[in-house]
Amino acid sequence: MNLSLIITLHNPAKLVFGCGCFQSFVNDLEKAGYKNIFILAIPEIENLLSEATGILKKQGCRIEVNTSIRKEPSFEDYRELLELANQINPDCIVGIGGGSVLDTAKLLAATVGSDVDVRSFLAGEKKLSRVKAMICLPTTSGTGSEVSPNAIFFDPDTGGKVGVIDPHLVPDATYVDPELTKSVPPSVTAATGLDALTHCIEAYVNNFSNPITDLFALEGIKLIGQNLLTAFRDGDNMEAREKVALGSMYGGMCLGPVNTGAVHALAYPLGSTFKIPHGVSNAMLLPYVLEFNLDKAVTKYANVAKAMGVQATGDEKAEAKTGIEQIKAMIKEFKIPGCLSDLNIQEKDIEEMAKSALKIQRLLKNNVREVLLNDAIDIYKKAY
Q: Tens of pLDDT along 252-298?
A: 999 989 999 999 999 999 988 888 888 899 999 999 999 999 999 99
Question: Closest by alpha carbon to 297, among 330, 268, 327, 262?
Answer: 262
Quick one: pLDDT at residue 4?
63
Pick the CATH number of 14-180 from 3.20.20.140, 3.30.750.24, 3.40.50.1970, 3.10.20.740: 3.40.50.1970
Q: At 316, which amino acid appears?
A: E
Residues listed for the chain: 384
Residue 3's Cβ-count burial label (10 Å; 0-12, 13-18, 19+) is exposed
Q: Is the pTM of this model over 0.75?
A: yes
Question: Closest by alpha carbon to 139, among 93, 178, 92?
Answer: 178
pLDDT in tens, 102-113: 999 999 999 998
Quick one: pLDDT at residue 1?
45
Ranges of the chain with pLDDT below 70: 1-4
Using alpha carbons only, give the angle 365, 362, 298 rounded to the nearest 5 degrees: 35
Quick one: pLDDT at residue 157?
83
CA dihedral 311, 315, 321, 324 (to 10 degrees): 40
Quick one: pLDDT at residue 98?
94
Domain definitions of the chain by residue range: 14-180, 187-382
**CATH 3.90.79.10 holds for 187-382:** no
Mean pLDDT, the chain, integer = 93
- Give the Cβ contact number of residue 87 at 10 Å: 10
Taking the C-alpha atoms of residue 37 and residue 135, their distance in angstroms, rounded to an integer, is: 11
Q: Measured on CA atoms in the order 39, 235, 149, 355, is the torsion positive or negative?
A: negative
Q: Are 9 and 256 in contact (CB under 8 A)?
A: yes
Quick one: pLDDT at residue 124?
85
Residues with Cβ within 8 Å of 144's Cβ and at least 6 positions away in sequence, in order, are 196, 199, 248, 249, 251, 252, 253, 254, 255
Q: Are 359 and 284 in contact (CB under 8 A)?
A: no
Residue 187's Cβ-count burial label (10 Å; 0-12, 13-18, 19+) is middle
Quick one: pLDDT at residue 109?
95
